[in-house]
């Protein structure tokens, strides 16, 4: 019986066209299998990032039964997602986001040219738009909370990048907050950054406070850019500095 050498096996799968390989890769678990596939070569790296393998949230009228990776609501997409998946949220419409619990590593990404093109709306009566208990990333989205919290961080590392977090102004604005972190403090120094929030180039509007924390998580490394129409923030929410310096957790809003 003739035994195939590894390079022969690799060559046999590489004769398939891009569409066939994307279809094969779509059956892989994002972490670690699809990640490992992306490291094989430049071609496989591009195919492993193909939009056809990303979960997408579209208007219900545009969803077809022949599109297994397209969902009518963000909650449906989160439920179907595997750890490490990216969910693309369509622009040009409002998506209802109320107490959506994310307990696996995910990336939520707006499909527009700017954060204002994709809106997640949390109506009155719900605690938060998105609640995270696993390391995740949110990018290029506008999140509007009518009365509550835009992002509720319970556990893991949360990255918020190029977003707009808005709380509507009303007499009960003390109940509204753009980001609330209740993550448990991790005492050991080598796990110092395991729990925390990193905010990059994000607009924050409304509410009495922009960031609210508990335990020994505090606001760190705040940087603000004064643009013509708004203030843009960069900051981290992480454990208290070992020196004992305790910066305030309340920052200004645009």
Same domain for 127 and 219?
yes
Judged by phi (left if over 0) then psi (alpha if -120 to 50, else beta), residue 206 lies in left
The predicted model scores a pTM of 0.79
Count of structural domains within the chain? 2
Say if 178 falls within a structural domain.
yes
pLDDT, one tens digit per residue, over 82-103 is: 898 999 999 998 999 999 999 9
Same domain for 65 and 87?
yes
Is the pLDDT at 188 greater than 60, yes or no?
Answer: no
How does the average pLDDT of the chain come out, rounded?
82
Same domain for 19 and 32?
yes
Same domain for 215 and 100?
yes
**Boundary-marking domain end, from 51, 68, 89:** 51
Say if 247 falls within a structural domain.
no
The pLDDT confidence band at residue 235, using thresholds 50, 70 and 90, is: very high
Q: Which position has the higher pLDDT, 118 or 16? A: 118
Residue 105: what pLDDT? 93
Q: Which position has the higher pLDDT, 223 or 227? A: 223
Residue 189: what pLDDT? 44
Q: What is the dihedral of CA 7, 9, 12, 17, to 10 degrees?
A: -90
Domain housing 108: 54-239
The pLDDT confidence band at residue 191, using thresholds 50, 70 and 90, is: very low
Over range 112-127, report the average pLDDT.
93
**Boundary-marking domain end, from 25, 51, 77:** 51
Q: Which helix (H) or strand (E) holds 78?
A: helix 74-80
Side-chain-side CA neighbours of 16 within 13 Å: the count stands at 14
Choose the weakest-confidence range: 38-52, 60-74, 107-121: 60-74
Same domain for 97 and 189?
yes
Same domain for 142 and 37?
no
| Partners of 237 in beta bridges | 197, 219
């Amino acid at each position: 019986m003739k035994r195939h050498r590894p390079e022969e096996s690799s060559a046999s799968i590489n004769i398939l066209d891009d569409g066939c390989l994307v279809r094969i890769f779509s059956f892989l678990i994002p972490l670690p299998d699809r990640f490992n596939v992306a490291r094989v070569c430049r071609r496989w790296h591009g195919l492993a990032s193909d939009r056809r393998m990303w979960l997408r949230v579209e208007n219900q009228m545009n969803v077809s039964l022949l599109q297994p990776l397209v969902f009518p609501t963000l909650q449906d997409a989160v439920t179907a997602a595997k750890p490490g998946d990216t969910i693309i949220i369509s622009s040009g419409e409002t998506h209802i986001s109320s107490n959506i619990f994310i307990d696996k590593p995910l990336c939520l990404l707006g499909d527009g040219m700017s954060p204002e093109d994709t809106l997640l709306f949390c109506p009155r009566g719900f605690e938060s738009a998105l609640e995270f208990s696993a390391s995740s990333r949110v990018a290029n989205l506008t999140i509007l909370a009518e009365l509550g919290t835009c992002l509720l961080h319970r556990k893991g590392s949360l990255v918020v990048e190029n977003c707009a977090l808005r709380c509507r102004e009303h007499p009960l604005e003390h109940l509204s907050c753009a980001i609330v972190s209740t993550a448990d403090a991790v005492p050991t120094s080598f796990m110092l950054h395991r729990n925390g929030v990193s905010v990059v180039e994000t607009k924050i509007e409304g509410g009495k406070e922009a960031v609210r924390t508990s335990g020994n998580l505090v606001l760190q490394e705040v940087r603000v850019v004064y643009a013509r129409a708004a203030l843009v923030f960069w900051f981290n929410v992480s454990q208290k500095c070992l020196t004992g310096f305790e910066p305030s957790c309340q920052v200004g809003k645009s």
